[in-house]
Structure formats: C-alpha cells, structure tokens
Amino acid sequence: MRNWIIAPLLLLALSACLSKNASVNVGERAPSIQTKTLADVGGDFSLITSYRYPDERMYQLSLDEALKLNKPIVLEFATPGHCTVCDKQLQMLKALLDKYDGEVIFLHMDQYQNPEAFKAFRVIGDPWTFVIDEQGVVRYKQPGRVLYTELDLVLQRVTGTGV
C-alpha cells in the first residue's frame, strides 16, 4: 500500500532519535526553561509523569529554578508510559539519586507532561540523559540507556568526588 511512504519516515525518525548531534550539545549552555513541578500539579504524579514508581525528589524544581542553584543536574528525558527502557533508566537514576542526594539535582522530564523541555533540548525519542554542571553547561549527553557505573563516573567527575 503506502509502505513506500511510511518506511522512509520511520527511518528518518529513528535516525533523528539516535543522532547525538540533533540535541543540545556538550559544551553548550542548557536552555533555562520553566518546567512543571509536583507543586504545579497539586501533588498528582499522574499529571507530571507516566512512571509507575516516581520519586518526588525528581519533580520538586523547575529546570530554570534548578539552574539558579549552581549545582550539577542530571536531566532525564524519559517517557516510561511508552518506553520500557525508560522505566529501567528511571529505576537506575533513583539509586544514583540516593548516592548524590544534596550534591546533584535530578530532574525527570516526561514527554507527555513536559513537551516544552523536549523541544528546548531538541530531543526526539527517549531516553536521553544530560548532565549539566554548576555553571549551566552541558557536560555529558547520551541517547538511549545509560549504565549506573557510566553515569556514576560522570557524576564523580562533575562533582569533584572522583579519583
């Protein structure tokens, strides 16, 4: 039928999703935008995330507020409502959040609830992980799944706690 039209479009979408150059790049300043917080949605997690087991610490601050605190930020673009890899990614982030609580701000952006963040960072698809330093500069980005040890090493470097 019209597969000759659909196939190229799917290929284009997939290549954009996997392209490391489509989004905000390492070395660039992170866009300072207002994103939804748990307070903005009256404490109703279903209005801020499609994740089944959200950690409220990831939804306390808007990105623009977090950038003003001059702390490293892990910014996770993940929509577990349609992405099983995103679910696993958020589980891993909760473990790192426990380790770096107070030192690093962890923010989760769900495509359904914070589409403006996806647009500002020019990300298509998910998950995407960004680490932003205390000056608001992107120091790490990775499309797709990130392993605990990989992100832990990045956070050690950004916080100055690494070897």
Per-residue confidence band for 2, with pLDDT thresholds at 50, 70 and 90: low
Domain count along the chain:
1
- Within a domain: 14: no
| Structure confidence by residue, pLDDT tens digits, 18-35 | 444 568 999 999 999 999
Give the whole-angstrom CA distance, residue 36 versus residue 110: 10
Give the whole-angstrom CA distance, residue 55 versus residue 57: 5
Cα–Cα nearest to 135, from 32, 34, 57: 32
Task: Quote the domain boundaries for residue 137.
Answer: 28-159
Element (H, E) at 54: none
| Structure confidence by residue, pLDDT tens digits, 66-97 | 999 999 999 999 999 888 999 999 999 999 99
Give the whole-angstrom CA distance, residue 160 versus residue 30: 20
C-beta separation of 139 from 131 below 8 A = yes
C-alpha count within 13 angstroms, C-beta hemisphere, residue 35: 33
C-beta separation of 49 from 108 below 8 A = yes
What is the pLDDT, as a whole number, of residue 125? 87
- Within a domain: 43: yes
- Within a domain: 58: yes
- Within a domain: 4: no
Give the whole-angstrom CA distance, residue 130 versus residue 122: 12
Q: What is the pTM for the complete model shown?
A: 0.85
Beta bridge partners of 105: 73
What is the pLDDT, as a whole number, of residue 12? 42
Percent of all residues in the chain with a pLDDT value above 70, rounded to a whole number: 85
Identify the CATH number of the domain in which residue 97 sits.
Answer: 3.40.30.10
